[in-house]
Structure 1
Amino acid sequence: MSEPMSVLILEDEFMIAMEFETVLLDAGYRVVGPAADVEAALALLESDKPDAGVLDVNLGRGETSAPIAEKLHRLAVPFILCTGYQTSELVQRYGDGVPILQKPVDAAKLIDVLRCLVPAPR
């Protein structure tokens, strides 16, 4: 059996992060994180290159996931942006080539979109 595909979760809301983690684990993915802020996500990326990412656009306190999106983009790691806002700069920058899910995110939709990016071995 092959190693499960790994997914970085960057989400500042604890309950949402835990929900994403449960959904991804149940679908056969290995979770990297979850991280609640850019600093924590960067630390995770130092030791573990994920196969994909699920990034909350707005992380609170004026912080966005832009540095992580840029790093994943440079590493050729696909990612999904999750947001409650259509007008964010990050959504506008990546909107054409990156899947964007509106919050609240439907678990089945998250897995469907993620499977288009990276399949989960069973």
Structure 2
Amino acid sequence: MKKADHLIFIFPIWWDIMPAATKGFIDRVLSPGLAYDHHPRGFGLVPLLHNLKSITVITTMNKPKIMYSLLIGNLIRKVMIRSVFKTMGYKNVKWLSFTSVKRVSHEKRVKWLHELEKRFSKLN
């Protein structure tokens, strides 16, 4: 992880949040002394993965995006983006959400995959 340029998390949204395995990975791997440290003044965190250029969170879910945002409150943005990575001090964090997965056509899913391939082939 210390040599990584980019971190990419890919998971389904279950019961409006990430699966327990994803949360467990965050708790066990993105730990103090590796991913972040406590600020010397005692408040806040300092990022330690200095090679990271970006962090991308990719999720899938069956709910429509508007329903998730308005009714549930965008828990992924709150938990993964703000509470985990932004709190650790990482700046270039993006969330790509693929919604209504069961209702979209096969062609739409293939298009999503091609867009992801194109996007991540540009990383250096």
Q: Is TM (by shorter chain) over 0.5? A: no
Which of the pair has more CA radius of gyration?
A: 2
Q: TM-score, normalised by structure 1?
A: 0.41
